[in-house]
Amino acid sequence: MHIVRKFASLALGMSLLFVAASPVTQAADHRDSPTADGAPEGDITDFFTFLDPNDASQIVLIMNVNPFAVPAEQAGYRFSTDFLYQFKIDNDASAREDFVVQVLFKNDTTCSSGQRVLVFGPAQPRTTGARNVVVSDHPAVAGCTGGTLTASDGMQVFTGLRDDPFVFDFGQFERILTGKQEVFRDLPSTPLGHLRGRTLHTDGTSGVDAFGGFDLTSIAIEFPKHWVQGKSSRLGIWATVSAALDNHEHANDDDRAFMQFQRMGQQAFKTVFVPAALREAFNASVPENDNVNWSSLVINALTSNDPTGNTIAARFDLLNSLGLFALPNGAPNLLPRDFQNTDPNFLRKALLPDVLRLDLNLAPNDLAVGQFGLQNGRRPGDAVIDILTRVARQLSDIDFAGSGRAGAFNFPLNNLAVADRRVFVVLQGTDFIKPDATVPDLTESGNDRPLLSVFPFLATPHPLPGEPGTVGFPAQQ
């Protein structure tokens, strides 16, 4: 992927997503808070929104829940009948929903899956914020879960079991943070000495996908983008799950209120920036208050004009001198040495509010990395970990070695023990899940099963153990 200076300075939005991580961080949004941990049917693992690559007039929304679903128990994973699953869409840059797509589930013995799905909207919400009610008595789409439902007006809905598309060597991430090893791939000889990591295999990989072999349950919806477009082509979109404030049966759902307990926008913001003790509060909050509530959690980014030399260029030179911009030691640089930024606050501007930004006028596969947020939308195959780590290592303004100087990335060459362990996570710019030949391609994550090229775009679930295609948990090289 060729990176040029057309990147807006908001590329800074990715700069700290790993170096600021807590040692107890969970990957993606799998199991991110006590309430979500106790309600896996409402635990959003990942959220995606993008234009259909086969028809750019259609927008796709995907919410995944039920993390770490094992193939042996395929029939045991369902959606909750007491939860309201929502996609919220802001089309006027207010960080407040202008449209919602709401999804409810009911138990139904006439369905082979045992459940029926009801989809309402997209429609203007009756209430905004954390407390919501259903927008209508009449669903736009209704039918049994476990497959794809199609409406005459162009809407498609899929609900059911899918392969988990998140890809990350979380085991090695934990080893790095706890000091058992330093990097994702072993570097026997560097100016810093031996940096311990995984062994390079003959297939050009060295990482182990901690989510390989696991399934989850997915809600995927597609409809014409003009239904929700406002005066601007850009949308802010996020996913939420809310619990019913009572558990009584209702003939209709229009009088039933739901309170939000889970949300997700841009990948990894919550799990990296928000301390564990605050995640319940974050999950219950709304994007329009993010700048007030959470901006203090985001620290500064490097600039190109720091008079002390704490600059983007100094960071580039150090990484380059260590040979970390060349495979097999590390991924290519994402930003040029002379990348310009003069505002240390651009991190906050890019990351908050915590919503995915999608430009309806860009091509479906245009990542537009850093142009107005982390990236333009998010597709199941995007190499989000590599995007984060490759920019983080170049732009993070953090004191890695306790020396008071951040940008130069100064390690004490004779005492690595004083360096912040988190810096090693981003040194190589990739976790080497996929073969080296594909590391530069940020549109390919290295998922353990082939992603579909048509709706619902997620890979089919893993087979029952013992059937062809069975893998371990996680799959090993």
| Dihedral (Cα; 139, 140, 146, 148), 10-degree rounding | 170
Q: Are residues 470 and 214 in contact, defined by beta-carbon separation less than 8 angstroms? A: no
9, two tokens? 């300075």
Chain-centroid distance, C-alpha 327: 25
User: What is the pTM (predicted TM-score) of this model?
Assistant: 0.89
| Backbone region of residue 404 per phi and psi (left: phi > 0; alpha: psi in -120 to 50; beta: other values) | left
Q: Is the peptide bond before 139 cis (omega within 30 degrees of 0)?
A: no
Lowest mean per-residue pLDDT among 107-111, 123-127, 231-235, 320-324:
320-324
- pLDDT of 209 > 50? The answer is yes
- pLDDT score of 412: 43
| Cα–Cα distance, 308 to 244 (Å, whole number) | 55
Chain-centroid distance, C-alpha 62: 12
Chain-centroid distance, C-alpha 231: 27
pLDDT averaged over the chain? 86
- pLDDT of 124 > 70? The answer is yes
Q: How many CA atoms, within 13 angstroms, populate the side-chain half-sphere of residue 436?
A: 16
| Cα–Cα distance, 237 to 166 (Å, whole number) | 19
Asked whether the CA dihedral 400, 406, 409, 415 is positive or negative, the reply is negative
- pLDDT of 36 > 80? The answer is no
pLDDT tens digits for 434-476? 999 999 999 999 999 999 999 999 999 999 998 988 877 776 6
Mean pLDDT of 235-250: 86
Q: Are residues 426 and 389 in contact, defined by beta-carbon separation less than 8 angstroms? A: yes
* pLDDT bracket for residue 254 (50, 70, 90): low
- pLDDT score of 417: 59
Q: Are residues 117 and 99 in contact, defined by beta-carbon separation less than 8 angstroms? A: no
312-321 and 384-395 are packed helices; what angle lies between their axes, rounded to 10 degrees?
Answer: 110
Domain borders along the chain are: 1-20+170-208+299-447, 29-168+212-288
Provide the strand spans (E) within 333-465.
356-359
